[in-house]
Chains A and B, each alone.
Chain A
């Protein structure tokens, strides 16, 4: 309990610092000025999302290999956290794009892949919601998760191959190209802070899944004992 509170406090402080740094300490960007500051959280969202989904992939394979339910809990926790981070990135992106590029969205390789990734992991969560029996749910969603992860590089490749054949909007200012050192430090702080939030929520969700599992086991135990006692009662034995 104390450890959870302490880590929550540390992460809260980190996020506060990161927000302050992004808004006030980071130097003003030459062309985009204020709106550029959203970039610190935008990139942090992507890094957190990518870590979460890689974790899901590892958890899926590990579950199928070992059949330990802990990996299934990790899988669903990672997927939920990943979807949230992805949504954050998909919202902050257009918020940045509209003042800078004049458009809310473009179908270039990276954006399209991210959108499909978002759809894939929402489907993963929907699949889990619609499968009832716990062991089957774990196994089948692990299979789907592996398929989904294998698909992502193919989505990226196919979009790259395709979009280079079509005219594209001119995109100014690639991120990370010659980053000012102060900006780099602020970026690092934001990434660490958001990763901290992600890990905190992930651990919490993992605990919730574990509790659900234990509750389910207890319920089944009670149910089987009740049935047993009923049948012995009926047969006239005590």
Chain B
């Protein structure tokens, strides 16, 4: 079976599993909300300050919520040893990884669709006229988060203390992504909203490099 088709089928399985219970999605969105609200107590945001610190706190909220959401990606497969079943199927390991990456991308995007308007409302940031470009930045940034996060979820699923291990592995790796995403978002929230080409290309480069690394190394993730 081709990689694409296998990944698509796995994506369907992931979506069906999640949308039946929906506990992970709800928890992720709530956690993101809590982080966003907590930040408002850490500093008192006036309009100007919101525009300066807003993008940073938005992306940190995404990183925290994301690391929480990415962990069950492979941890779930440990319970009934369904990972062995996946590996026995006549599909490539990259298909397994791709299916889960796309599923995580969709979940994160759903969380972001809820969190971004809430953020805009709570911090009095206007999203008028920048929605399209914001979606582009969110997509590239979330893709980087999801690609590395899914790989590290596969790695930490075999370890002890895996809930703590995943953020520990993920956050240092994501520092360039955080910088690029925050800077690109800041450029959009500025007085003259503009799409910063440097940072967008950087984000795209980050995604490509780690997706390629994941493709080259995926077999080693799933062996016994």
Residues of chain A at the chain B interface (Cβ within 8 Å): 64, 116, 119-120, 123, 126-127, 130-133, 136, 139-140, 142-144, 146-148, 150-151, 154-155, 157-159, 161-162, 165
Knowing A119-B172, A127-B159, A154-B206, say if A142 contacts B148 (CB, 8 Å): no
**Chain A residues, CB < 8 A from B161:** 130
A150 touches B209 (CB 8 A): yes
Instruction: For B156, list chain A residues within 8 Å (CB).
Output: 127
Known A-B contacts A127-B165, A155-B176; the reply to A143 vs B155 at CB < 8 A is: yes
Contact B173 A151 (CB under 8 A): yes
Closest residue to A163 on the B side, CB-wise? Answer: B179
Are A158 and B176 within 8 A (Cβ)? yes
A-B contact count, CB below 8 Å? 82
Indicate with 1 or 0, residue by residue over B210-222, a CB within 8 angstroms of chain A CB atoms: 1001000100110
Contact between chains at B202 and A157 (CB < 8 Å): yes
Most chain A C-beta atoms within 10 Å of own C-beta, residue among B165, B202, B213, B220: B220
Contact flags B154-167 to A (C-beta < 8 A → 1, else 0)? 01101111100100
**How many residues on chain B are close to A (CB under 8 Å)?**
33
- For the complex, would chain B's binding face be called helix, strand, loop or mixed by DSSP majority? helix
Which 10 interchain pairs have the tightest Cβ spacing? Answer: A158-B176, A130-B159, A154-B176, A119-B172, A158-B179, A120-B172, A130-B160, A139-B220, A140-B155, A143-B217
- Helix, strand, loop or mixed for chain A's interface? helix
Flag if B172 contacts A131 (CB, 8 Å). no
CA–CA, A158 and B200, complex, Å: 12
User: With a CB–CB cut-off of 8 A, which chain B residues contact A157?
Assistant: 176, 202
B23 at the interface (CB under 8 A from A): no
**B155 to chain A: which residues have CB within 8 Å?**
127, 140, 143-144
Contact A131 B159, beta carbon cutoff 8 Å = yes
B152 contacts the other chain (Cβ, under 8 Å)?
yes
Residues of chain A with a CB closer than 8 A to B176's CB? 151, 154-155, 157-158
Q: Which of B162, B202, B224 contacts A158 (CB 8 A)?
A: B202
- CB B56 to nearest CB in A, in angstroms, measures 12
> Can you give 23 contacting A-B residue pairs, CB < 8 Å?
A116-B172, A123-B169, A126-B168, A130-B159, A131-B158, A131-B159, A132-B160, A136-B158, A140-B220, A143-B155, A143-B217, A143-B220, A144-B169, A146-B217, A147-B148, A147-B173, A148-B172, A148-B173, A150-B210, A151-B173, A158-B179, A161-B199, A162-B179
B residues in contact with A148, CB < 8 Å: 172-173
Asked if B198 is an interface residue, CB under 8 A from chain A, the answer is: yes
- Given A130-B159, A139-B223, A161-B198: A147 and B210 within 8 A (CB)? yes
Bound: A159/B223 CA distance, A = 36
B162 to chain A, nearest CB (A): 8
- Give the complex CA separation of A120 and B156 in angstroms: 15
Of all chain B residues, which has the CB nearest A120? B172
Task: Enumerate chain A residues within 8 angstroms of B173, measured Cβ to Cβ.
Answer: 120, 147-148, 151
Tell me how far the C-beta of B63 lies from the nearest C-beta in chain A, rounded to whole angstroms: 15
B220 touches A64 (CB 8 A): yes
A27 to chain B, nearest CB (A): 40
Please tell me which one of the listed residues A131, A147, A158, A159 contacts residue B213 in the complex, with CB atoms under 8 A apart. A147
